[in-house]
């Protein structure tokens, strides 16, 4: 109570003294706070608590992996691709047998080495299924180089002695039974035999696929076929590079004919006509920018097709291609059978050209294309001639190792057999659980962005977009049917391989592949199934089934990091890829398909026009990127779909990652990696860049620009991060308006 008594004078003295103390504390505190803020602004002091570090072996491994890839002397704000990838690129030069090299090819070869080890194991009649035994025999025959050298060109020459494979350029050098006859030549029979028995599509590509507007049903489709060179423009351009490629192709055709017994002067004469014909075909092909889903959906019956292009007996061609002994239910194919003619104008122009061309030139071209496709299966003297050709068009200087070539062949021929072999040993089922987390996180992020950030799409279109996003079906690892040994064995029961007859084995596989897709013609589309090779190092979106697909081959470091590693790495790598594939359902092509996979306009006119207007900015951005190594600018319109997917995928994955931090860690950041001063957000973006580290030879760079659907890797990385404000925040970059 005494404290409450006393005169007013004593109270005043105490108050003045307290004011002076408070003032001193305020001034001193302000000075200290200013110093602290200065130190923080200069990066010398952090306001946060001391960061937590992960010292597990997995984190040390991840830190070492990151340090091996980066170039810390590059400012990430100036060139993030170089900052993230220079170290890896400098330590991993392009192998002499490859046109380009990067993380994807590195992982591809890693998978191939695992397949090599599996295929080289001795056959166990008890343990190996019939299908696996056949795969091992096929691989062994491919590796039997002694037998291949001994056979030399004899297996191919045996084919060329019989109609419809007689090659006019060989004349009588192949023997009297192999002399080509103009009177006996049939374009229809030759095309049908090539497609139906050897899976060689020349001039015409006939195949079975889902009907774009009735996606539950399969239908026959007709399209333009590929050319000898990968890039159509190389037949048309007058650039020095394009001319050198045409010259190299011509020389390769001549030399191959001579190796098979042709007179050199005759070969030079005939192959000039062949090249001229192929240039004419290139001129009439529908370019990529005109191959839109709407333009290529021309559904009609065979009778209507025959009326539109009467120069060719379409019904006879289709019936000759399909082996009704395998599919007796297809005997009823007739004039009323529906087909989708994807390029009507091309076919009109094609038969106009062929109608005025010499039959001998047409026959020379057709058989050249068959011979060209079989060169990889011949002896070394043919391989080395191919290498001279490849040196010009790809820049490679050595052949692939025989084992690598053989693994690739077996994988493409028997994908589900080697797929099962691979996943049994190298795929962990718990990866599916983590992938589900990533996929659902990205799905949430897409819908959340649609609701909160998309201000230009009208409510009706936005509602349907969310419905489609919720309907996207994800497939991870491998199709379940590959584990059904009875099914796979039955599928291959007609094939009998020999370890000493590689060429004969190849012909069997070609016949098998030629007829496989006709199995589906009268069957419904299995919307919940998928048919991707499990060893594929890639991911996919299917518009007709509204599926995203992630095969086992893709789900490995540095794409997929397990639960024992920081989530920032997986969200930045495979998470962005999930977002990329998800976004394909809404890009300039995927957006045309509804949630059920049907080509059906579901956007309002207003939203569609606004979408097209917004894509102009992205087209311009990427078109302004110049690639010195290729000597060309990126084709912003050609690569638009992939650029949209890159930008969308990056944003969705980052949003999903931050939600994971908030939901699973209550907003507390993950422990940092030891020995490197990068935040988790920075690690996310670095992981995104790392899976795209890649370098190219000039020849491959040019092909990537001319024919690739994707922008070159450095522009994929730098383009997407420069458009994303969260990247700029993470690396404290100045804002870049886009």
In tens, the pLDDT along 246-289 reads 999 999 999 999 999 999 999 999 999 999 999 999 999 999 99
Q: What is the average pLDDT score of the chain?
A: 93
Beta pairing partners, 626: 633
Higher pLDDT, residue 158 or 176: 158
8-state DSSP, 557: T
Question: Which of the residues 234, 241, 581, 703 is marked catalytic?
Answer: 581
Q: Cβ contacts of residue 630 below 8 Å, gap of 6+?
A: 696, 698, 701, 702, 704, 705, 712
Task: For residue 334, report the phi and psi dihedrals to the nearest 5 degrees.
Answer: -145, -165
Beta carbons of 338 and 301 less than 8 angstroms apart: yes
With bands split at pLDDT 50, 70 and 90, how would you rate the model's confidence at 174?
confident
With bands split at pLDDT 50, 70 and 90, how would you rate the model's confidence at 683?
very high
- Cα–Cα separations (whole angstroms), residue 594 to 150, 297, 573, 580: 56, 16, 28, 18
pLDDT on residue 122:
97
Mean pLDDT of 233-254: 98
Is residue 36 scored above 80 in pLDDT?
no
pLDDT on residue 17:
39
Distance from chain centroid for Cα 126: 38
With bands split at pLDDT 50, 70 and 90, how would you rate the model's confidence at 172?
low
Which residue reads 């059906």 in tokens?
A: 600
**467 counts as catalytic:** no
Report which of 518, 513, 494 is spatially closest to residue 198, judged by C-alpha positions. Answer: 513
With bands split at pLDDT 50, 70 and 90, how would you rate the model's confidence at 32?
very low
**247 counts as catalytic:** no
Beta pairing partners, 224: 204
Tell me the whole-structure pTM to 2 decimals: 0.91
Distance from chain centroid for Cα 668: 36
Is residue 30 scored above 90 in pLDDT?
no
pLDDT on residue 171:
83
Q: Are strands 694-696 and 632-633 parallel, antiparallel or unpaired?
A: unpaired
Which pLDDT tens digit goes with each residue over 429-467? Answer: 999 999 999 999 999 999 999 999 999 999 999 999 999
With bands split at pLDDT 50, 70 and 90, how would you rate the model's confidence at 177?
confident
- Cα–Cα separations (whole angstroms), residue 678 to 80, 127, 195, 323, 685: 14, 49, 55, 61, 11
- Cα–Cα separations (whole angstroms), residue 35 to 22, 26, 28, 32, 50: 20, 14, 11, 5, 20
Is residue 405 scored above 70 in pLDDT?
yes
114: helix, strand or coil: helix
Which pLDDT tens digit goes with each residue over 346-379? Answer: 999 999 999 999 999 999 999 999 999 999 999 9
Length of the chain counted residue by residue: 738
Percent pLDDT > 70 in the chain is 93
Is residue 2 scored above 60 in pLDDT?
no
**Domains of the chain in sequence order:** 153-377 (1.10.1380.10), 440-479+535-730 (3.40.390.10)
With bands split at pLDDT 50, 70 and 90, how would you rate the model's confidence at 701?
very high
Report which of 529, 195, 516, 190 is spatially closest to residue 327, judged by C-alpha positions. Answer: 516
Q: How far apart are CA 686 and CA 84, in angstroms?
A: 6
Q: Is 430 exposed, middle or buried (0-12, 13-18, 19+ CB in 10 A)?
A: exposed
What does 281-315 look like in DSSP terms, one character per residue? HHHHSPPGGG--TTTT--EEEHHHHHHHSTTS-HH
Question: Which of the residues 337, 411, 646, 670 is marked catalytic?
Answer: 646
pLDDT on residue 14:
36
Is residue 163 scored above 90 in pLDDT?
no
- Cα–Cα separations (whole angstroms), residue 22 to 3, 10, 11, 25, 267: 22, 19, 17, 5, 102
pLDDT on residue 538:
98
Which pLDDT tens digit goes with each residue over 100-131? Answer: 999 999 999 999 999 999 999 999 999 999 99
With bands split at pLDDT 50, 70 and 90, how would you rate the model's confidence at 175?
confident
Count Cβ atoms below 10 Å from residue 153 Cβ, excluding itself. Answer: 19
Which residue reads 């005759």 in tokens?
A: 266
């Amino acid at each position: 109570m005494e404290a409450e008594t006393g005169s007013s004078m004593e109270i005043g003295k105490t108050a003045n003294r307290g004011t002076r103390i408070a003032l001193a504390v305020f001034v001193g505190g302000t000075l200290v706070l200013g110093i602290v803020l200065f130190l923080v602004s200069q990066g010398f002091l952090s306001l946060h608590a001391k960061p937590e570090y992960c010292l597990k072996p997995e984190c040390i491994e991840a830190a070492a992996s990151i340090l091996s890839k980066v170039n810390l002397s590059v400012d990430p704000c100036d060139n993030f691709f170089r900052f993230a990838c220079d170290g890896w690129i400098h330590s991993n030069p392009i192998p002499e047998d490859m046109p380009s090299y990067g993380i994807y090819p590195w992982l591809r070869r890693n998978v191939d080495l695992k397949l090599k080890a599996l295929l080289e194991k001795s056959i166990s009649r008890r343990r190996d299924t019939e299908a696996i035994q056949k795969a091992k025999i096929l691989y062994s025959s491919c590796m039997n180089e002694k037998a291949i050298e001994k056979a030399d060109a004899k297996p191919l020459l045996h084919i060329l002695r019989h109609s419809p494979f007689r090659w006019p350029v060989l004349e009588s050098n192949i023997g009297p039974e192999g002399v080509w006859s103009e009177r006996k030549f049939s374009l229809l029979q030759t095309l049908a035999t090539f497609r139906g028995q050897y899976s060689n599509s020349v001039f015409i590509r006939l195949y079975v696929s889902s009907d774009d507007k009735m996606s539950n049903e399969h239908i026959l489709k007709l399209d333009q076929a590929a050319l000898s060179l990968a890039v159509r423009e190389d037949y048309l351009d007058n650039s020095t590079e394009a001319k050198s490629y045409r010259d190299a192709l011509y020389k390769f055709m001549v030399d191959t004919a001579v190796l098979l017994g042709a007179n050199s002067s005759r070969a030079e004469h005939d192959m000039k006509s062949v090249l001229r014909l192929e240039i004419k075909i290139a001129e009439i092909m529908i370019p990529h920018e005109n191959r839109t889903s709407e333009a290529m959906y021309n559904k009609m019956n065979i009778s209507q097709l025959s009326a539109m292009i009467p120069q060719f007996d379409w019904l006879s061609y289709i019936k000759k291609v399909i082996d009704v002994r395998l599919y007796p239910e297809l005997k009823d194919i007739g004039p009323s059978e529906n087909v989708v003619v994807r390029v009507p104008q091309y076919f009109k122009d094609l038969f106009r050209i062929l109608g005025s061309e010499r039959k001998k030139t047409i026959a020379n071209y057709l058989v050249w294309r068959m011979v060209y496709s079989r060169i990889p299966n011949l002896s070394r003297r043919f391989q080395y001639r191919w290498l001279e050709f490849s040196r010009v068009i790809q820049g490679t200087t050595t052949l692939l190792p025989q084992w690598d070539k053989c693994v690739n062949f077996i994988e493409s021929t028997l994908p589900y057999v080697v797929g099962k072999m691979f996943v049994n040993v190298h795929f962990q089922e718990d990866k599916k659980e983590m992938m589900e987390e990533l996929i659902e996180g990205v799905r949430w992020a897409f819908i959340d962005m649609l609701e909160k950030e998309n201000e230009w799409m009208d409510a009706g279109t936005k509602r349907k977009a969310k419905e489609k996003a919720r309907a996207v079906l994800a497939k991870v690892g491998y199709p379940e049917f590959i584990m059904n040994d009875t099914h796979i064995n039955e599928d291959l029961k007609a094939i009998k391989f020999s370890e000493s007859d590689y060429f004969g084995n190849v012909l069997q596989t070609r016949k098998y592949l030629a007829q496989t897709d006709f199995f589906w013609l009268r069957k419904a589309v299995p919307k919940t199934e998928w048919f991707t090779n499990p060893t594929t190092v890639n991911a996919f979106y299917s518009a007709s089934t509204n599926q995203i697909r992630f095969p086992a081959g893709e789900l490995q470091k540095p794409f997929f990091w397990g639960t024992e590693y920081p989530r920032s790495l997986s969200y930045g790598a495979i998470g962005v890829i999930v977002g990329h594939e998800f976004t394909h359902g809404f890009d300039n092509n995927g957006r045309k398909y509804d949630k059920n996979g049907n080509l059906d306009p579901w956007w309002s006119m207003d939203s569609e026009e606004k979408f097209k207007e917004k894509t102009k900015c992205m087209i311009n951005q990427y078109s302004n990127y110049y690639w010195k190594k290729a000597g060309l600018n990126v084709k912003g319109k050609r690569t638009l779909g992939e650029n949209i997917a890159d930008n969308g995928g990056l944003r969705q994955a980052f949003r999903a990652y931050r939600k994971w931090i908030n939901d699973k860690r209550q907003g507390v950041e993950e422990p940092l990696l030891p020995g490197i001063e990068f935040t988790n957000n920075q690690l996310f973006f670095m992981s995104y860049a790392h899976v795209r580290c890649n370098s190219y030879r000039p020849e491959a760079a040019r092909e990537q620009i001319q024919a690739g659907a994707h922008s070159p890797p450095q522009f994929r990385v730098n383009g997407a991060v420069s458009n994303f404000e969260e990247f700029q925040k993470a690396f404290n970059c100045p804002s870049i308006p886009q």
